[in-house]
Amino acid sequence: MRCQILHESKGRIRIRDVRFRMTMEEADKLQYYLQGVGGVRRVTVNDRTRDAVIEYTGPRESVLDALARFDYDTTAVAVPEHTGRALQREFEDQLFFLIAKRLLKRLLLPADLRHLITLLKSIPYIVKAVRCIRKGRIEVSVLDAVSIVVAMLAGDFETASSVMFMLKIGELLEDWTHKRSVDDLAERMSLNVDKVWVRCGGTEVLTPVNEVAPGDVIVVRAGGLIPLDGTVLEGEASVNQASMTGEHLPVRKTDGSAVYAGTVVDEGECVITVTQASGSGRYDRIIRMIEDSEKLKSETEARASHLADKLVPFSLVGAGLAWALTGNIAKALAILMVDYSCALKLAMPVSVLSAMREGSDHRISIKGGKFLEAAAEAETIVFDKTGTLTCAAPRVTEVVPFGGRDADEMLRLAACLEEHFPHTIANAVVEAAREKDLRHDEIHSRVEYVVAHGIASAVGEERVLIGSSHFIFEDEGVTVPEGGEPLLDSLPPEQSHLYLAVGGELAAVLCIEDKVKEEAAGIVAGLHELGFSRVVMLTGDSRRTAAAVAARLGIDEFRAEVLPEDKAAFIRAEHEAGRKVIMVGDGINDAPALSEADAGIAISAGAAIAREVADITITEDDLHELLTLRRLSAALMRRIGFNYRFIMGVNSLLILLGLAGLLPAAATALLHNASTLFIGLRSMKPLLSDAE
């Protein structure tokens, strides 16, 4: 690409494409390409000016080099299906025309004609207000209509017209910020491509979802996301269709039932014939999901808009009194011009949405304002240990075979079973087999998952089990081969153990090291500092291991050897004690606890069902995001508080000034609108400074 450097300073460069023009698609391509270059922090490409502003931390040469290598036609860049650019353009144009039309009208049309237009335009507002009154409610739309009508009756058509103009601008801005936030979120989410097991010729192959064609047969097991629409070919499963229907009770699916993309298998497994390939509808589904979740407005937000409606009668009465007492319609108008609602209704959602967007800049996706509020107010934070406090990738350190079996063969068998289940321990086993280059063709029959305990299947005639000691020895009554007890007792105690049994006899123990994340202790301290009074760890590990980890990390309380239902019960108990709770987890077995908590936080690498039921998702490799989330949500609450006081204060003052006759209607309207715009724009600013 040929370009010209227009400006340069430390860590920032502005270049211009030398060609005559740039399309929006090209701008998107350049933007996503540059964002992928190492050392580049932030890029904005403007297709109208053909300029790109690049902020970088790496060496300057690598940026220039990347620019030189770029070609619009040949360079392959992953650009999401929808970027915000077209949307942004559409709104910019609308705003431009709205303003241009008003200016033109004022310049060109004679006053009478303008007044006629104002009169016509006021009709929809009046109709809306009448409808509202008919329902027995006096809300903001009534106040809007009254102020427009009173202004017109007083012969002040200019004011009436500017009230409508400001209302329109406010609506447009609100719509814009809203759509943009939703779009941004969806854009980021649609970039993740899931993988799915495709059955072909008797074996199962892990395939990216976008490569699956209609007619392919896929297998989805407990905890897995059904990535595509299809019909069940065989198997039986209960499917959680909450993402489609909002109904949280799982639905039973058997042969011939239709299953839908985006739903999650709760229990059992099913083989599905795909009817529709990915692509179509995926983006729309994400958008729908976000919109649904937005209905979960935060309490503060809801309170603000109710308050706005509740204040309407006071404004009306105040204006009426002013008119009755002074006989001066201008004074009444001055009061009517000031309504609390515009500002409250604009500033609150904008604050929340921009906080959600800022979260996604920090790779935290938040499904609704309600959860930010919970994140700000919670006193207790509960961690499921594996995968959150410990490394995302535990490692198999040793395979101890029993009864004279071969260690590698046992690892192969274990990997073969575990690869079907989305769990961090399972991933460790599969990874260990891969490292040793052990190929594992599917030799077993149907696999069955017993949540939180283990997996059962059969190889030939023999029953194969893998899981916890409780599951293997107590539930299934597996025996230890003769002479194996000393070996079993000598296993290193500081590691987690996974037991493999074949034909009712212990075959091997896999020692798994579940290393605590380096930053974990610092994070726990940070959480305390940010106002969490109780940091709790839940784990399936033995009491001894759990106590050691808890002491090392400075955790206030822990529960060892817990089952999934215990996790949810723990959170219920916290609720009963009157505390708000955040739960952090990543596995299938965390799902009940995640949905029980006020805000459930899932690790993005975890099971699909965990992400599905979670309210907030963070990336796997950085627990610092928890601190960022807390700061962000606390800052949001502060901002909402400020907005509240500011709006009430400024507008009350304006009313008093109007009443005292110190300000004419036009001036209060102007000041009111200016303060509304100010608070709206202020609410869009980032909550956290770069340093944080």
Partner 1 sequence: MRFGKFGLLAAGILIGTYGVKLLKTKEAKKAATVAASAGLRMKDEVMKDIGLARENWGDIVADAKVMNEQKAVEAEAEYVAAARAIVEEADRKAAGAAAEATA
Residue number with CB closer to partner 1 (116 or 325)? 116
Residue number with CB closer to partner 1 (89 or 446)? 89
Stretch that binds partner 1, among 7-15, 268-276, 510-518, 601-609 (CB under 8 A): 7-15
Residue number with CB closer to partner 1 (92 or 299)? 92
Stretch that binds partner 1, among 41-49, 61-69, 136-144, 329-337 (CB under 8 A): 41-49
**Binding to partner 1 (CB under 8 A): which residues in 53-72?**
53
Residues 6+ apart with CB under 8 A from 540: 386, 452, 468, 560, 561, 562, 563
**Binding to partner 1 (CB under 8 A): which residues in 266-325?**
none
Q: CA 545 to CA 292: how far, in whole Å? A: 42
Residue number with CB closer to partner 1 (89 or 306)? 89
**Smallest separation, CB 4 to partner 1 (Å):** 13
Stretch that binds partner 1, among 48-56, 274-282, 466-474, 478-486 (CB under 8 A): 48-56
> Side by side, which strands form the sheet with 496-502?
395-401, 505-513, 496-502, 462-467, 454-459, 448-450
Helix, strand, coil share of the chain (percent; to 5): 50, 20, 30
Q: Residue 498 in contact with residue 467, Cβ under 8 Å?
A: yes
Dig out the tokens for 388 from the structure. Answer: 């959150």
**Smallest separation, CB 71 to partner 1 (Å):** 24
Q: Is 46 in the site for partner 1 (CB under 8 A)?
A: yes
Selected binder of partner 1 within 17, 26, 28, 51 (CB under 8 A) = 51
**Binding to partner 1 (CB under 8 A): which residues in 95-154?**
96-97, 100, 110, 112, 116
**Smallest separation, CB 49 to partner 1 (Å):** 5
H-helix segments, 490-519: none
Q: Is 689 in the site for partner 1 (CB under 8 A)?
A: no
Q: CA 514 to CA 447: how far, in whole Å? A: 25
**Binding to partner 1 (CB under 8 A): which residues in 74-93?**
92-93
Q: Both ends of the chain: CA-CA distance in Å?
A: 36
Dig out the tokens for 540 from the structure. Answer: 């399936």
Q: CA 355 to CA 650: how far, in whole Å? A: 24
Q: Residue 577 in contact with residue 329, Cβ under 8 Å?
A: no
Residue number with CB closer to partner 1 (12 or 446)? 12
Residue number with CB closer to partner 1 (64 or 511)? 64
Q: Is 48 in the site for partner 1 (CB under 8 A)?
A: yes
> Among all chains, which residue has been given the structure tokens 């459930």?
600
Selected binder of partner 1 within 35, 49, 231, 619 (CB under 8 A) = 49
Provide the Cα torsion 372, 376, 379, 384; round to 10°. Answer: 40
**Smallest separation, CB 96 to partner 1 (Å):** 5
Q: CA 475 to CA 478: how far, in whole Å? A: 8
Q: If we measure between CA atoms, which residue out of 527, 514, 515 comes closest to residue 555? A: 527
Q: Is 238 in the site for partner 1 (CB under 8 A)?
A: no
Q: If we measure between CA atoms, which residue out of 414, 392, 493, 498 comes closest to residue 453? A: 498
**Smallest separation, CB 182 to partner 1 (Å):** 23
Pairing label, strands 380-384, 581-585 = parallel
Q: Is 384 a catalytic residue?
A: yes
Stretch that binds partner 1, among 9-17, 134-142, 283-291, 567-575 (CB under 8 A): 9-17
Q: If we measure between CA atoms, which residue out of 629, 181, 568, 645 comes closest to residue 374? A: 629
**Smallest separation, CB 158 to partner 1 (Å):** 16
Residue number with CB closer to partner 1 (6 or 153)? 6
Residue number with CB closer to partner 1 (39 or 531)? 39
**Strand, helix or coil at 350?**
helix
Stretch that binds partner 1, among 5-13, 202-210, 541-549, 634-642 (CB under 8 A): 5-13
Q: φ, ψ for residue 382 (rounded to 5)?
A: -115, 130
| DSSP line for 205-251 | EEEEGGG--TT-EEEEETT-B--S-EEEEEEEEEEE-HHHH---S-E
Q: Residue 204 in contact with residue 198, Cβ under 8 Å?
A: yes
* Burial of residue 226 (number of CB atoms within 10 Å: 0-12, 13-18, 19+): buried
Q: If we measure between CA atoms, which residue out of 166, 167, 122, 176 comes closest to residue 146? A: 122
Residue number with CB closer to partner 1 (48 or 552)? 48
Q: Is 10 in the site for partner 1 (CB under 8 A)?
A: yes
Residue number with CB closer to partner 1 (112 or 441)? 112
Q: Is 434 in the site for partner 1 (CB under 8 A)?
A: no
Dig out the tokens for 380 from the structure. Answer: 């207790």
Selected binder of partner 1 within 5, 12, 248, 483 (CB under 8 A) = 12
**Smallest separation, CB 330 to partner 1 (Å):** 22
**Smallest separation, CB 44 to partner 1 (Å):** 9
Q: CA 512 to CA 249: how far, in whole Å? A: 36
Stretch that binds partner 1, among 42-50, 390-398, 651-659, 664-672 (CB under 8 A): 42-50
Q: Residue 391 in contact with residue 515, Cβ under 8 Å?
A: yes
Residue number with CB closer to partner 1 (9 or 490)? 9
Q: φ, ψ for residue 214 (rounded to 5)?
A: -55, 140
Residues 6+ apart with CB under 8 A from 494: 545, 548
Stretch that binds partner 1, among 43-51, 357-365, 535-543, 594-602 (CB under 8 A): 43-51
Residue number with CB closer to partner 1 (14 or 624)? 14
Stretch that binds partner 1, among 6-14, 346-354, 566-574, 675-683 (CB under 8 A): 6-14
Q: Is 252 in the site for partner 1 (CB under 8 A)?
A: no
Size of residue set near partner 1 by CB under 8 A = 19
Dig out the tokens for 627 from the structure. Answer: 């601190």
**Smallest separation, CB 89 to partner 1 (Å):** 9
Q: Which of 156, 266, 339, 384 is catalytic?
A: 384
**Smallest separation, CB 109 to partner 1 (Å):** 13
**Smallest separation, CB 318 to partner 1 (Å):** 33
Provide the annotated active-site residues.
384
Binding site for partner 1 (CB under 8 A): 6-7, 9-10, 12, 14, 46, 48-49, 51, 53, 92-93, 96-97, 100, 110, 112, 116
